[in-house]
A and B are shown apart, each in its own frame.
Chain A
Amino acid sequence: MAAAKLTVAVSGINAVDNPGPGAGVARSLKEAEGLDIEVLGLAYDAMEPGIYMDWIIDRSFIMPYPSGGGEALVERLLYIKQNFGLDVVIPNLDSELPVYIKYARDLEKAGIKSFLPTRKQFQLRGKDNLPDLAKAIEVDVPETRVVSSPDRLIPCLEELQLPVMVKGTFYKAKRAYTRQEAIAHFQELANEWGYPVIIQEVVTGEELNVVGVGDGEGGHLGLVGIKKSWITSQGKIWTGMTVRHDGMLKATQDLMTHTQWRGPFELECIIGSKGQIYLIEINPRFPAWSYFSTGVGHNLAANLVRKAMGDPVDIAADYEAGKLFVRYTYELVTDLTVFQKIVTRGES
């Protein structure tokens, strides 16, 4: 029996040097066994490469920025639903998530499903709440100070030894070796992302990550652990390999149990020289390298779609450690038609 056709929209199709997660999610959906998925790309700029990657994205739409409050974004999704069909939406950018979480029920009522963390879960993993979460799942966290005003920065630097990590509340982390550097990074990140700014002790060790999807009931729809072995100057993975670090996978499972996590996530941690696990960050969405999990037998995006649709999910038992991920650059040449359409009509 042929699989029913589903239409799934993915955002973050900016497959550039600092890639959004959308292209990997779209590719996973196209490769999903037993699913026939039309993939819609949700873009914020006519130059996002995903718009032109017609082998994984069937149609694309320019979206209003979520910073506008969300109503316009919801209206745009309803327009897409009405005119082209839309069963599931997978937002892949941090800045979109509060809006999609806020309007998830409204979208569901309109027939657009999603599978996202709750507002409470989203806040739990915020950088300022991470120490409490780490304590709850019995892992370490680097010494952290949440700084909400410039006058608190110097006392914090005196409490923590240099170098320190200076982190924006949503994005970006910069290492500061001197007090002057810390002040400069602090001002830059506060200007860009607002307060609080997080000041964190630098811990050394193996940087390992996990991608997965929580089932919302304390379990998961698949987990894959990796080590980033080569990263770009922007801190993005270029090559990596699958690993099976039992402590890290247990911490991930404990996180699922403790938070009843719902939806995709990326857990970043550092394994210290004595085996201690430091929780660095939890991203409440697929990472840009999520296709790696599909390549080793865990199609997490497909599992998410099945779960969102209320269909049974067949979770792969395990994955092999030592599989290699290599990103590469590629070019495509096309004519201006798609660009013209997306600029003039906002859709292609």
Chain B
Amino acid sequence: MSKLSSLALNDEGFAFDPSTGDSFVVNETGQFILKGLTAEVPAAEIINGLVETYDIGPEEAERDLGDFCERLRSYGVI
């Protein structure tokens, strides 16, 4: 099981890694992306979802997704 799929995320954006005990908090956009990544939604669909939900351009949405994934990588989550 990947770390991402075992990550526990509550409605307030508190994420907990049960294998290491690490935890972090994400904002609403982060929750949106994290839920998509956890459900293995393709990146293009997550970007479309961000564009529709948050009224932003596709370039900005792609950049946000990239930045967020980079942060998750630094936490060892992906």
| A interface residues, Cβ below 8 angstroms from B | 206, 208, 226-227, 229, 240-246, 271, 273, 321-322
Evaluate contact between A322 and B18: CB separation under 8 angstroms: yes
Partner of B18 from the list A229, A240, A243 (CB cut-off 8 Å) is A243
- What chain B residues lie within 8 Å of A322 (beta carbons)? 8, 16, 18, 21
The reply on B57 being an interface residue by CB < 8 A is no
CA A244 to CA B16, docked complex, whole Å:
12
- What chain B residues lie within 8 Å of A271 (beta carbons)? 20
CA A271 to CA B21, docked complex, whole Å:
12
| A-B contact number at CB 8 A | 33
Chain A: CB-nearest residue to B17: A243
Which residues of chain B (19-54) have a CB below 8 Å from chain A?
19-22
Chain B: CB-nearest residue to A229: B21
CA A271 to CA B76, docked complex, whole Å:
12
CA A226 to CA B21, docked complex, whole Å:
8
- What chain B residues lie within 8 Å of A242 (beta carbons)? 21
CA A242 to CA B19, docked complex, whole Å:
9
What are 20 A-B pairs with beta-carbon distances under 8 A? A206-B21, A206-B22, A208-B21, A226-B21, A229-B21, A241-B21, A242-B21, A243-B18, A243-B20, A243-B21, A244-B18, A245-B19, A245-B20, A246-B19, A271-B20, A273-B76, A321-B16, A321-B19, A321-B21, A322-B18
Instruction: Beyond A208-B20, A227-B21, list 17 extra A-B contacts (CB 8 Å).
Output: A206-B20, A206-B21, A208-B21, A227-B20, A229-B21, A240-B21, A242-B21, A243-B18, A244-B18, A245-B19, A245-B20, A273-B76, A321-B8, A321-B16, A321-B19, A321-B21, A322-B18
